[in-house]
Structure 1
Amino acid sequence: MPFFTKISLVQFRNYMSQSFNFNKKIVGICGANGSGKTNLLDAIYYLCFTKSYFSKPDAKNAMHGLQGFRIDGIVDDSNKEQYLTCILRETGKKEFYVDDDVVKKFSSHIGRFPCVFIAPDDSTLITGGSEERRKFLDTILSQLFPDYLQELIDYNKLLLQRNSCLKNLHEQQSNNFDLLDVLDEQLANAGQKIFSCRKEFLETLIPIALQQYEAIADKDENVVMNYQSQLLDKSLLQLLKDNRQRDLYLQRTTAGIHKDDLTLLMDNEPFKQLASQGQRKSLLFALKLAEYFSIKNVKKHSPVLLLDDVFEKLDEDRMLNLLNKVCNDTDAQIFITDTHKQRLDMAFSELKQDWQMIEL
């Protein structure tokens, strides 16, 4: 099981040059807003995914007024130390190393050191559009199955090519569909594989998420999740053929796995319309815990858990239920941030857990 023992930051966000050593399974990180708690978690995420969790351009992660940064980490993986390094040069070139060996293709590193991040802005997973839930699902599957990530990369490239083709055909008023026919075949092939993987995986993920939600809420609140996809009724190739004239008119692809969603309901109504803030956050945590357990089940070892400011907008009972799930029911290395040291101390003491505290 990967266990981070050290991380060093140079010119990363608000850190000019600082190192942290980790010696416990549970690491509490406390400090005032703006002290760098989230930045420290994101640095760990960088070493797992080669990029920021917050979709920032790499250059935006350098200390203000400076160019470039460096993140070094030591991971104890099955009693073998591995050294991870991410460097952004002043030229804007990014480099990634594992034990001094250059990682030539960043996507090949994803899934090597699995990680689950929970941040306050993740509430958009519950309240936002379908693209947020697709991103959530793709992040899990990309860590589990390298072929899935490559199919997704291929699909998105083909989707751009098809949309460009549709635009050209529309502008030229052309009826030569030879290229469009080829793109449809290729897009359908990649899309069907992605759909099959998502459908099979969600048959496992959804029951776990609902079980976790009930445990955190400590009651049955009649929450339902469903996989929504146009491909449940027709093949993607047939959908592309059926929608061709509409696509030509709109100059974009209106059917495909890029329209998939995970619908969330409570009492047969959209969850986000009925749920309180506590219920929304409980469902967010339930989905993230389902991500954790799904990765563990496939990888046979636990991903690192990064919990940023998780105590806000949760009542005490839900908070303790959540901590019990992540601290007592998992063997993961866990990093938890909070603005109140006393709150972290009391929570960990309540759970009778040994922990390390880092004060910023």
Structure 2
Amino acid sequence: MYLNKISLTGFKNFKEISLEFSPKLNCITGKNGAGKTNLLDAVYYLSMTKSYLSTQDHLAVSHSEQTAYVSGEYRRDDSTTEQLSLSLSKTGEKQLKRGGKLYRRLSDHIGVVPIVMVSPYDTCLINESGEERRRFLNAVISQIDGEYLRRVQNYNQLLSQRNRLLKMDAVNYLLLETITERMQDNAEYIYRKRYAFVKDFLPLVVKYYNVISGGRETVSVAYKSDLENGSLTEILKEAYDKESRLGYTTAGIHRDELLFTMDGELIRRVGSQGQQKSFLISLKLAQYLLFRELNGKNPILLLDDVFDKLDMTRVEDLLTLVSAKGFGQIFITDSNKVRIDGVLAKIGNDSKSIEIDNGNLA
């Protein structure tokens, strides 16, 4: 399934615009600030019901509007269509309709239109805290396994309850024990899914990094979890005295970590900007391929400003790779129209070019 048409009203810097896309390669060009990334974020919204760039939906509404509307027409292989309509208000209300029917729970939509985005903001996966890497794991696995998302939500709710109890002067130990046991069931499920995912994920990351970088360095992804050392209930039982002093839960899958390394050292310490960008692209392409292998669907691939900090050889290798058979619909943004047109002419692939200027077609 691919995105055939999109319409935006009051979304970020787009007052009103409608666009049609190629089922294969779509090149979005324009100056910095023209709205290229905003357009990709609108596509992402329709798949994930949230922005890739912000946790605050009201920021997607234009300053002069109270509500933003994003609608998309998707076309399946048999030429039938699917309509998605999203509305976002400045007051925080958000609604999504599929075929005119309103979703009661937005989480039920995750995985219906699978999507993978590569963005300059992905550097946070390397340079910031483990929370960013856990958020990445959750976003990826949730598109593959709807039960996983439900388990993460349950675990986080129970974690909040447990932390509130630990902050009390007189802790209700029986209630704390009940909450911990319920957390254990969810934590074990999440741990198994994350462990299995990383096991399948690592060879694909290595494969794509070698293609993009020429195999000049050895990269790896390692998954670390407190649950490697036993059940959550036993771990937290031993940590109770410490937790009662600190007032929060000190162990669990909310502290899991992904370690990204290059030649045995953390990438954030030894990787150049180009090497880090190549690694992040490899990470996302591995996500793409694993989703396709597990679900039999080609996700939509969004490549935002991927050419920055990559030499032309790597750019050409990347575009040749994603234009090959096996990849579905792709969106690429670049501020340099001459550059992207030149690369596309070399690889000789069918594509559609769209130029954006301050939220309008140029």
Q: TM-score when scaled to structure 1?
A: 0.96
SS in 1 for 2:167: helix
Q: Which residue identity lines up with residue 10 of structure 2 in the other structure?
A: Q
Q: Which residue identity lines up with residue 87 of structure 2 in the other structure?
A: I
Mapped pair 1:93 → 2:89: no
Mapped pair 1:132 → 2:132: yes
C-alpha separation between the residues in 2 aligned to 1:141 and 1:70?
A: 28
Change (3 A) 1:339 1:229: same
Q: Which residue identity lines up with residue 162 of structure 1 in the other structure?
A: R
| Structure 1 residue 91: Cα displacement | 5.1
Equivalent of 2:210, from 206, 210, 214? 214
In the other structure, the counterpart of 2:166 is: 166
SS in 2 for 1:328: coil
Cα deviation, 1:158-186, whole Å, max 9, x if unaligned, reads 01000001001xxx2x2641111001101
Runs of 4+ in structure 1 off by over 6 angstroms are none
Q: Which residue identity lines up with residue 252 of structure 1 in the other structure?
A: Y
In the other structure, the counterpart of 1:81 is: 81
- Are the aligned partners of 2:2 and 2:23 in contact in 1 as well (CA < 8 Å)? no
Q: Which residue identity lines up with residue 163 of structure 1 in the other structure?
A: N
| Structure 1 residue 261: Cα displacement | 1.0
Q: Which residue identity lines up with residue 73 of structure 1 in the other structure?
A: G
| Structure 1 residue 332: Cα displacement | 1.2
Mapped pair 1:34 → 2:33: yes
Mapped pair 1:4 → 2:3: yes
Equivalent of 2:284, from 283, 288, 291? 288
SS in 2 for 1:189: helix
Paired residue total:
355
| Structure 1 residue 224: Cα displacement | 2.3
- Are the aligned partners of 1:24 and 1:354 in contact in 2 as well (CA < 8 Å)? no
In the other structure, the counterpart of 2:152 is: 152
- Are the aligned partners of 1:68 and 1:92 in contact in 2 as well (CA < 8 Å)? no
In the other structure, the counterpart of 1:16 is: 15
Mapped pair 1:319 → 2:311: no
Aligned ranges 1:28-67 → 2 under 5 Å: 28-67=27-66
| Structure 1 residue 68: Cα displacement | 0.9
C-alpha separation between the residues in 2 aligned to 1:152 and 1:356?
A: 39
C-alpha separation between the residues in 2 aligned to 1:136 and 1:90?
A: 27
Cα deviation, 1:14-60, whole Å, max 9, x if unaligned, reads 01111001134100000001111011101111111111111231111
SS in 2 for 1:225: strand
Equivalent of 2:224, from 222, 225, 228? 228
Aligned ranges 1:264-283 → 2 under 5 Å: 264-283=260-279
C-alpha separation between the residues in 1 aligned to 2:18 and 2:201?
A: 37
Q: Which residue identity lines up with residue 33 of structure 2 in the other structure?
A: G
Q: Which residue identity lines up with residue 63 of structure 2 in the other structure?
A: H
C-alpha separation between the residues in 2 aligned to 1:242 and 1:65?
A: 55
In the other structure, the counterpart of 1:348 is: 344
Q: Which residue identity lines up with residue 4 of structure 1 in the other structure?
A: L
Change (3 A) 1:92 1:268: closer
C-alpha separation between the residues in 1 aligned to 2:90 and 2:167?
A: 38
C-alpha separation between the residues in 1 aligned to 2:134 and 2:271?
A: 21
Change (3 A) 1:154 1:342: same
Q: Which residue identity lines up with residue 274 of structure 1 in the other structure?
A: V
Aligned ranges 1:318-337 → 2 under 5 Å: 318-328=314-324, 330-337=326-333
Percent of aligned pairs with the same residue? Answer: 39
RMSD between aligned alpha carbons? 1.3
In the other structure, the counterpart of 2:121 is: 121
In the other structure, the counterpart of 1:205 is: 201
Cα deviation, 1:182-204, whole Å, max 9, x if unaligned, reads 01101111111100111111110
In the other structure, the counterpart of 1:109 is: 109
Q: Which residue identity lines up with residue 271 of structure 1 in the other structure?
A: I
Please list every run of 5 or more consecutive structure 1 residues that lacks an aligned counterpart in the other structure.
none
C-alpha separation between the residues in 1 aligned to 2:228 and 2:186?
A: 16
In the other structure, the counterpart of 1:72 is: 71
SS in 1 for 2:132: helix
C-alpha separation between the residues in 2 aligned to 1:92 and 1:53?
A: 17
Please list every run of 5 or more consecutive structure 2 residues that lacks an aligned counterpart in the other structure.
357-362
C-alpha separation between the residues in 2 aligned to 1:336 and 1:313?
A: 15
